[in-house]
Amino acid sequence: MTVFQATRTTAAGDAYLYVVRQLQGASYWIGRDTQMAESVIVDNLTFPNFIIFGWTEQDPGEDPVHHTVTYSFTDLSHGIGNLNRNHWSDAGLNEDMLVARSIYYDPDDPAGTSRASYADPVLTVTLCSRQDTAAETREYTFARRPDFGP
């Protein structure tokens, strides 16, 4: 019986660590993009889009390069799926990456789902992750970069 309990406890601990790592990875990338952003869009997006960031890279003597980063959900099953990041620029970049797995998103559960709100310059993101019996919800706040205009 003791071995069974120890195994079950370890599995539950592993599942909890897994969901926490997923949230940490997602918060890293969203925070990074928030700091780069000149614009943040979270309202009136169509599914599967979650957050859209935009900024312009201006190097002296070069044409400006416009960037867009879109976070979206894929492979949702019962509200649990992947959070992906697409980074596009008009210089030819179009890069997709998986940011986090086991993210809970269900628009029919507004109190319990992952969600984002933006009040310039602060982005607030609530991320929920679920795996087996483990679940974790964390709220993050990120400040958009100050405007360093000319």
Q: How does pLDDT run across 90-123, given as a tens digit for each residue?
A: 999 999 999 999 999 998 998 899 999 999 999 9
Domain assignment of residue 149, yes or no: no
Q: How does pLDDT run across 55-92, given as a tens digit for each residue?
A: 999 888 889 999 999 999 999 999 999 999 999 999 99
Domain assignment of residue 115, yes or no: yes
Strand partners, 140: 125
pLDDT at 7 over 50: no
pLDDT at 146 over 90: no
Predicted confidence at residue 74, as pLDDT, reads: 97
Q: How does pLDDT run across 120-139, given as a tens digit for each residue?
A: 999 999 999 999 889 999 99
Domain assignment of residue 150, yes or no: no
pLDDT at 144 over 50: yes
Domain assignment of residue 85, yes or no: yes
Higher pLDDT, 53 or 145: 53
pTM above 0.85, yes or no: yes
pLDDT at 6 over 60: no
Domain that holds residue 59: 2-143
Domain assignment of residue 148, yes or no: no
Given a contact cutoff of 8 angstroms between Cβ atoms, the answer to whether 128 and 109 are in contact is no
List, in sequence order, every beta strand (DSSP E) within 1-150.
39-41, 49-57, 65-77, 80-89, 94-104, 115-119, 122-131, 134-143
User: How many structural domains are present in the chain?
Assistant: 1
